[in-house]
Every structure is written in C-alpha cells, then in structure tokens.
Amino acid sequence: MSKVFVLDANKQPLPPVHPGRARVLLTQSKAAVFRRYPFTIILKSVPLSPEVHPLRLKIDPGSKTTGIALVNETTGAVVFAAELLHRAEAIKKALDQRRPFVEDADSAKPATESPGTPIGDGTKGGWLPLWKAEW
C-alpha cells in the first residue's frame, strides 16, 4: 500500500504516514494538502524531534513500462510505487494513422508547376511584373 508523504512547516521531509493518519491530520486542520500527485501533506507546525528514515529509489526499466518504487532502507517496506507508461507505441500509432493524409496532401501538388521552375517571368524584381511609368 502506498503511503502519504509528509512535510513539516519548513518544507522538510518527514517519514511517510498511512493514508488514514493523513486523513485524520487533514480533518483536524493540523495539515493541508501540499501536492495531489504524489499525494503530499504539509503540517502546520514543526515537530520537536523529527525522525527521518532513509529511503531508496528503485527503478525497473522495461520496454513498455518503467516501474518506480521508494523503499524504506531500515524496514524494507515499500513506501511508494508507480508505473511509468512509455509513449513510443502511442506516438507510432498516431503517426501511422496520420500517414495516409500526409501522402494524399503531398500528391495533390499542381501539375503545371515543376519544382525547379522560377515563379514569374524571370525578370529582376521577383514575381511582380515590371511597370513602366509614362510621363
């Protein structure tokens, strides 16, 4: 089961607590929600002697998902666990769905214009015709 991360009033980390304990702290107005994901609360007071246990981040890379876990080093208990879904397949699928439309747009170029032909009559000044003023 995931636990709730806790910060003191000075934004220093404290040991994670059970979600029920966090709910009690929130209903008694002793804490406020600091962040929704990962769910983190911030205490409204600073504890006298905070006891912090070291945590270890463990990562399990995979081809489609990556597993992420925070483990308490002293007890070995999992404090937080999450899966990170890779977007490679979703991006490839979206590009595959888009490909026919792009190919149709590329083939719809005007037949009268070839890629190497300059636009206009080729005179100096670009594509606008040269106007001669008669005074």
Q: What is the pLDDT of residues 27-64, one digit of tens each?
A: 999 999 999 988 999 999 888 887 888 889 999 999 88
Which pLDDT belongs to residue 127?
58
Is 83 inside any structural domain?
yes
Q: How far, in Å, CA of 22 to CA of 37, rounded?
A: 14
21 and 63 inside one domain:
no
Q: Whole-angstrom Cα distance, residue 80 to residue 57? A: 9
Q: Tell me how many helices (H) and strands (E) the chain has.
A: 2, 7
Confidence of residue 126 (pLDDT cuts 50, 70, 90): low
Q: State whether 44 and 58 are in the same domain.
A: no
Q: For residue 80, is it within any domain? A: yes
- Position 102 scores a pLDDT of 72
In sequence order, the β-bridge partners of residue 5 are: 40
Q: Domain check: are 67 and 35 in the same one?
A: no
